[in-house]
Copies of this chain bind each other. A is one copy, B any other.
Amino acid sequence: MLRKLSSPSKATLKHREIFEEIKKKIDSGEWEENRTIPTERDLAEYYYSSRTTIRKAIERLKQRGYLHSVHGQGTFVLPPQSREKNLLHSLTDDIRAKGGKPAQKIIEMGFTQVSDVIRKNLELDHETHSVFFIKRIRYSGSVPIGIHSSWLALDVNTEITEKELLDTGSLYTLLEQKLGLKALEATELISARLPSKQEQEYLALESNEVILNCSRVTLSVTRKPMEYVEMAYSSARYLYKTRITKDNFSV
């Protein structure tokens, strides 16, 4: 089952294709954990490509905790618990991964005045006076997990409707599909604090629960801030998990 070469157009990148195929073999269990995968030279031959391209695909899988190379020995499949993403967190995906059913209730939605905090975080000029605001409660099934307040640097003509958001489920998916806004990177600040009265109510907090607060500025592929979001989570129902890697260079 040798790979056929795809046309050299932009649609499919070779290292990306190979990345996906290897990932599939690991996810499916065809390549078992703690065992070596074929050598880089063999893979290059198998996929009609060069070692450089194979190495690029493998490099990605290492970053994601799928593989691990030992000089002189080979490249090993890591156990599933290593496979953490430190990509942009999506609560929708998080809840699904834990077997829950993501749901949400929209509390508020529409254009609103720009405050100083928002202007600073979204790097707005002084001509911009309104941003799109969405406040919603996120649930896993019927259990409230957190409150998300998003401010989006949208043009005043481009409205998002409640129906669209509820149908799509994920705000990022909607922004990408409808407006072509793709997230590139984000900076997150995580802190802890006591809940407000409103938060206690919305999240049905027990008396000993506090708020895990995460505020994020998301940059689009053009490196303009596209979103500022404050996420207030119930400390008992949400954990922030992240995987930190030292890359090959800093060793």
Contacts and interface: CB of A to CB of B under 8 A. Distances in A.
Interface of A: 13, 15-16, 19, 52, 60, 63, 68, 84, 86-89, 182-194, 208, 210-213, 221, 223, 235, 239-247, 249-251
Contact of A240 (B19, B63, B191): B191
A184 B251 contact: yes
Contacts of A241: 187-190
Contact of A246 (B185, B189, B244): B185
Contacts of A250: 87
Given A184-B251, A190-B241, A193-B210, 5 more contacts: A13-B249, A87-B246, A183-B246, A186-B243, A192-B212
Q: Interface SS of chain A: helix, strand, loop or mixed? A: mixed
Contacts of A189: 239-241
Most central of A192, A212, A239, A247 by chain B CB within 10 Å: A192
A164 B189 CA distance: 33
Contacts of A194: 208, 210
Contacts of A87: 244, 246, 250
Given A185-B243, A244-B185, A251-B184, A235 B192 contact: yes
Nearest first, the 5 A-B pairs at minimum CB distance are A192-B192, A190-B240, A192-B212, A192-B235, A185-B245
A210 to B, nearest CB: 5
Most central of A15, A235, A241, A243 by chain B CB within 10 Å: A235
